Amino acid sequence: MTKTPLLLGLLLAPSLAFADTLELPADARLEVQLVEPLTLGPDTPQQDDILLRPVADGSGSHQVPDYCVMVGGAQLDDERIRITTSSVTCIDAQGNDSHIYSGDISAAAYDSDGHFGIDACRDGLCELSPDHGFELQLASDLAIEEQENPSEQINIERRQASSEQPEPEGS
Residue 112 lies in a domain: yes
Q: Span 36-54, mean pLDDT?
A: 96
Number of domains forming the structure of the chain: 1
In a domain, 8, yes or no: no
Q: Is residue 143 part of a domain?
A: yes
Is there a domain that residue 53 lies in? yes
Q: What is the pLDDT of residue 19?
A: 56
Does residue 136 carry a pLDDT above 90? yes
Residue 142: name the closest of 60, 27, 54, 35 by CA.
27
pLDDT (tens digit per residue) in 46-105: 999 999 999 988 889 998 888 999 999 999 998 899 999 999 999 888 777 788 899 999
Identify whether 171 is part of a domain.
Answer: no
In a domain, 127, yes or no: yes
79 occurs within a structural domain: yes
Q: What is the extent of the structural domain holding 41?
A: 13-161
Mean pLDDT of the chain: 83
> What are the Cα distances from residue 18, in Å, to 21, 63, 90, 100, 121?
6, 11, 11, 10, 38
**Is 7 domain-assigned?**
no
pTM for the complete prediction? Answer: 0.76
Residue 128: CATH number of its domain: 2.40.128
